[in-house]
Amino acid sequence: MAIPHPRDIQVAVVDWLDERYPFTKAVDEALYQRVPNFANAFYYCFGGMVFILIVFQLLTGILLALYYVPDASGNPAPAYTSVQFIQNTVYLGWLIRGVHFWSANILIVMVLIHMARVYWTGSYRAPRELNWMVGVLMLLIVLTLSLTGYLLPWDTKAYFATEVTIKIAGSAPPAQLGAFIKEILQGGPVVGPPTLLRFFTLHVFVLPALIVLLMYVHFRFIRAHGISEPL
């Protein structure tokens, strides 16, 4: 019996997928769309850089989560110990954590630059107002990701910085709303194990899911309205 050529297997798999879903058409629409000549300007690349940095965050975050223990009980706390284990023992753990840390900082800068470019060129105007609103939501989520991730090493600096952050959030008027926000974030009378678990849940599950969803919506809006022309 003749062994089929790998190319024939690939064609057969693609044909099988196309019979059940327009696989080839969807890929062509996603990858092969003409980009206007004016989009070659350097200031149009900031949105793509934001996307790349978010991908870095997701990939390195998954690798870090394989070893991280979101537990603040005990002395020393397993959360702190697991971070030290990642940093000093895991193969290339220091590099993965470093990429995650620095890409998070650069991400905030690039999002602000991207939004400044959108504002400066008037790309937030009709019919792109909804996409601007989606971008603002993504900025808020990126900032919240940074705040929730700051506590996860569970060292002294992270602990007291988070205490200050929660106190600021808890001072929101009226007093009842501020107290409610503080209770939700803190999970108790003081910053402790429930706080770490809530921040971990937000940082690893809730916020990444939201930002991936908003990125999809953002890209669909761009496809619908096209890239805005320069002033």
Q: Can you tell me whether residue 185 is helix, strand or coil? A: helix
How many Cβ atoms sit within 10 Å of the Cβ of residue 206? 15
Question: Does residue 2 have a pLDDT over 60?
Answer: yes
Does a structural domain hold residue 6? no
Asked if 69 and 81 touch (Cβ cutoff 8 Å), the reply is yes
Cβ(104)–Cβ(123) under 8 Å?
Answer: no
CB 53 within 8 A of CB 103: yes
Q: What is the mean pLDDT of the chain?
A: 92
Q: Which domain holds residue 152?
A: 43-225
Q: Is position 21 within any domain? A: no
pLDDT, position 25: 85
The token pair at 42 is 């350097």
Is 11 a member of any domain?
A: no
Q: What is the pLDDT of residues 186-226, one digit of tens each?
A: 998 899 999 999 999 999 999 999 999 999 999 999 988 98
With H, G, I as helix, E, B as strand and everything else as coil, classify residue 128: coil
**Which tens digits make up the pLDDT trace of 34-80?**
777 777 777 889 999 999 999 999 999 999 999 999 999 888 899 99
Q: Per the domain annotation, does 38 fall within a domain?
A: no
Tokens of 5: 């050529």
> In degrees rounded to 5, what are phi and psi of residue 26?
-65, -40
- What is the rounded distance in angstroms from the CA atom of residue 44 to the CA atom of residue 37? 11
Q: What CATH number is associated with residue 208?
A: 1.20.810.10
* Mean pLDDT of the region 177-183: 93
The domain total for the chain is: 1
> Would residue 16 count as lying in a domain?
no
27 falls within a domain: no
Q: Which residues of the chain form beta strands (DSSP E)?
A: none
Residue 76 Rama label (left phi>0; alpha psi -120 to 50; beta): beta
Residue 135 lies in a domain: yes
pLDDT of residue 208: 97
**Is residue 19 domain-resident?**
no
